[in-house]
């Protein structure tokens, strides 16, 4: 298995070799500012269990650290470290005044009921408390975490700080909360909506008609589902889907709403009444127009890339393609819309949520959606133009834009 941190390093090296960017800045960005590991006990069924939580604060030249917290048994310092770096570039690409962070808990969420998860989450918040804050580091949901977890964290944070009077400030410590708890409209669908709108922008540039085109998606969680929801409004056809339980292939197309119902009830897509089960290898071999990895990192390696047959890959997940695979895909002329560009819609609405909480105002759904859609389109256009001007990939162009923005803030310090 490749080390994910080397993948980020290689991406930065490649992109920064195409522009003149301050060498000291690259050195600084190579290491995170803080790597925090927290071990804390929780009493479960009269027995103490020790959990390990992580928070990596990569960089804050642009503003407070910002990024999600994931619950997964693969969570490690290396993983969180790479993901925190990507957050720094993701915020910069959308011109959001935040830096990058990421965290998580090493846990098998399926082993615990809701009450236990709440207890674990509250203890985790106590451990995180000294390191976070509305102008310091603002966590959000990520893999296996959601608005309920953010609400528990916000509530625990308020209890610890004992300061309910300045509610608007306390609510701005976490984003991705539920609407009743100070959350924002559009936040839940934001990442998937952003992925789909980015595909539309790409298609417009290429005069590529999305109607009737076939796509496959790996991952059918919050991001995957909302991506499909918007793609279906463009007339696109989902022919295969995978999640942690299995991969399903249905050449005639899948009804995403029925599939979502099934997966809500059964907690996976397994045993859905349509589609044939296939292996992960065969899933990625399917001839289709667009592939959307929307699960975890390092899913497409050299061997898988050799068999891929599509026009476009869109990284809804962070880091799904390793560096060897990328070279193969580029040689096949397959375009890749990189993670930091494709999935930055989530943190964009997190920023809107934070602004609303800070000023104690609430924007309407329409206002947010219009603002969001315009920004996603503008961001794609500026990165696309940069890639044409520099004759480079969208990934290189995304890093070039972000590094240039961060450099502007860094230069005033030296």
Contacts with 191 (C-beta within 8 Å, 6 or more apart), sequence order:
222, 223, 226, 316, 343, 345, 346
Which one is catalytic: 2, 47, 66, 102?
102
Q: Provide the minimum distance between the beta carbon of 178 and ligand GLU in the complex, in angstroms, as a whole number.
A: 15
Q: Provide the minimum distance between the beta carbon of 176 and ligand GLU in the complex, in angstroms, as a whole number.
A: 6
What span, in angstroms and rounded, lies between the C-alpha atoms of 245 and 225?
16
Q: Is 346 in the site for ligand GLU (CB under 6 A)?
A: yes
Residue 104: count of CB within 10 angstroms of its CB: 28
Q: Provide the minimum distance between the beta carbon of 19 and ligand GLU in the complex, in angstroms, as a whole number.
A: 25
Q: Is 103 in the site for ligand GLU (CB under 6 A)?
A: no
Q: Is 134 in the site for ligand GLU (CB under 6 A)?
A: no
Task: Give the residue from 411, 363, 4, 7 showing the smallest Cα distance to 187.
Answer: 363
Tell me how far CA of residue 10 lies from CA of 76, 222, 304, 323, in angstroms.
20, 29, 20, 8
Q: Which of 79, 137, 142, 156 binds ligand GLU (CB under 6 A)?
A: 142
Residue nearest to ligand GLU (CB): 68
Write the interaction track for ligand GLU spanning residues 295-334; mark x where CB under 6 A is met and - where it is not. ----------------------------------------
Closer residue to ligand GLU in complex, CB, 29/340: 340
Task: Give the residue from 313, 308, 321 showing the smallest Cα distance to 8.
Answer: 321
Kindly indicate which of the ranges 114-122, 231-239, 286-294, 342-350 contains the residues binding ligand GLU, using the contact rule CB under 6 A: 342-350
Closer residue to ligand GLU in complex, CB, 91/228: 91
Q: Is 342 in the site for ligand GLU (CB under 6 A)?
A: no
Q: Contact 359/351 with Cβ under 8 angstroms?
A: no
Write the interaction track for ligand GLU spanning residues 180-219; mark x where CB under 6 A is met and - where it is not. ----------------------------------------
Count of CA atoms in the C-beta half-sphere (13 A) of 149: 22
Q: Provide the minimum distance between the beta carbon of 140 and ligand GLU in the complex, in angstroms, as a whole number.
A: 3
Chain positions 22 to 81 lying near ligand GLU, rule: CB under 6 A, are 66-68
What span, in angstroms and rounded, lies between the C-alpha atoms of 184 and 176?
7
Q: Provide the minimum distance between the beta carbon of 350 and ligand GLU in the complex, in angstroms, as a whole number.
A: 3
Chain positions 164 to 183 lying near ligand GLU, rule: CB under 6 A, are 175-176
Q: Which of 4, 128, 140, 336 binds ligand GLU (CB under 6 A)?
A: 140
Tokens of 161: 């700080």
Closer residue to ligand GLU in complex, CB, 237/379: 379
Closer residue to ligand GLU in complex, CB, 236/349: 349
What span, in angstroms and rounded, lies between the C-alpha atoms of 260 and 222?
10
Q: Provide the minimum distance between the beta carbon of 279 and ligand GLU in the complex, in angstroms, as a whole number.
A: 28
Closer residue to ligand GLU in complex, CB, 55/213: 55
Q: Is 347 in the site for ligand GLU (CB under 6 A)?
A: yes
- Is 102 in the active site? yes
Strands 100-106 and 137-141: unpaired
Q: Which of 350, 356, 379, 387 binds ligand GLU (CB under 6 A)?
A: 350
Q: Which single residue is written with the structure tokens 């009737």?
A: 212
Task: Give the residue from 242, 228, 250 showing the smallest Cα distance to 300.
Answer: 242
Tell me how far CA of residue 128 lies from CA of 72, 103, 133, 140, 399, in angstroms.
17, 10, 10, 13, 30
Write the interaction track for ligand GLU spanning residues 271-300; mark x where CB under 6 A is met and - where it is not. ------------------------------
Number of residues engaging ligand GLU in binding (CB under 6 A) = 12
Give start and end residues of each alpha helix (H) in 38-96: 77-93
What span, in angstroms and rounded, lies between the C-alpha atoms of 67 and 355?
16
Q: Contact 107/73 with Cβ under 8 angstroms?
A: yes
What span, in angstroms and rounded, lies between the C-alpha atoms of 138 and 56?
12
Contacts with 80 (C-beta within 8 Å, 6 or more apart), sequence order:
54, 55, 56, 102, 103, 104
Catalytic residues: 102
Residues that bind ligand GLU (CB under 6 A): 66-68, 90, 140, 142, 175-176, 343, 346-347, 350
């Amino acid at each position: 298995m490749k080390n994910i941190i080397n993948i980020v390093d290689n991406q930065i090296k490649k992109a920064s070799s195409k522009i003149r960017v301050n060498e000291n800045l690259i050195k600084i960005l190579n290491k995170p500012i803080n790597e925090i590991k927290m071990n804390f006990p929780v009493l479960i069924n009269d027995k103490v269990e020790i959990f390990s939580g992580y928070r990596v604060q990569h960089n804050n030249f642009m503003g407070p650290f910002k990024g999600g917290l994931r619950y997964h048994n693969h969570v490690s310092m290396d993983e969180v470290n790479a993901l925190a770096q990507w957050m720094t570039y993701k915020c910069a690409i959308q011109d959001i005044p935040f830096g990058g962070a990421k965290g998580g808990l090493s846990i098998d969420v399926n082993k615990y009921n809701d009450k236990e998860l709440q207890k674990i989450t509250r203890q985790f918040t106590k451990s995180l408390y000294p390191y976070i804050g509305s102008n310091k580091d603002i966590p959000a949901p990520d893999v296996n975490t959601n608005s309920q977890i953010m609400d528990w964290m916000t509530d625990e944070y308020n209890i610890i700080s004992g300061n309910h009077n300045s509610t608007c400030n306390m609510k701005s410590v976490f984003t991705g909360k539920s609407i009743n708890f100070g959350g924002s409209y559009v936040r839940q669908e934001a990442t998937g909506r952003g992925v789909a709108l980015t595909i539309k922008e790409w298609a417009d540039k290429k005069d590529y008609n999305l109607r009737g085109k076939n796509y496959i998606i790996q991952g059918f969680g919050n991001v995957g589902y909302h991506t499909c929801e918007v793609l279906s409004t463009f007339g696109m056809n989902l022919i295969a889907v995978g999640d942690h339980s299995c991969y399903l292939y249905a050449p005639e197309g899948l009804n995403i709403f029925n599939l979502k119902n099934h997966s809500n009830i059964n907690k996976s897509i397994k045993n859905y009444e349509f589609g044939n089960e296939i292996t992960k290898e065969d899933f990625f071999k399917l001839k289709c127009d667009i592939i959307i990895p929307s699960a975890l990192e390092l899913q497409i390696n050299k061997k898988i890339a050799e068999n891929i047959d599509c026009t476009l890959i869109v990284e809804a997940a962070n880091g799904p393609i390793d560096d060897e695979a990328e070279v193969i895909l580029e040689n096949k002329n397959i375009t890749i819309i990189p993670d930091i560009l494709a999935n930055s819609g989530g943190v964009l609405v997190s920023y809107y949520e934070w602004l609303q909480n800070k000023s104690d105002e609430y924007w309407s759904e329409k206002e947010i959606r219009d603002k969001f859609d315009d920004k996603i389109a503008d961001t794609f256009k500026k990165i696309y133009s940069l890639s044409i001007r520099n004759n480079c990939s969208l990934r290189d162009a995304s890093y070039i834009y972000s590094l240039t923005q961060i450099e502007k803030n860094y230069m005033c310090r030296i």
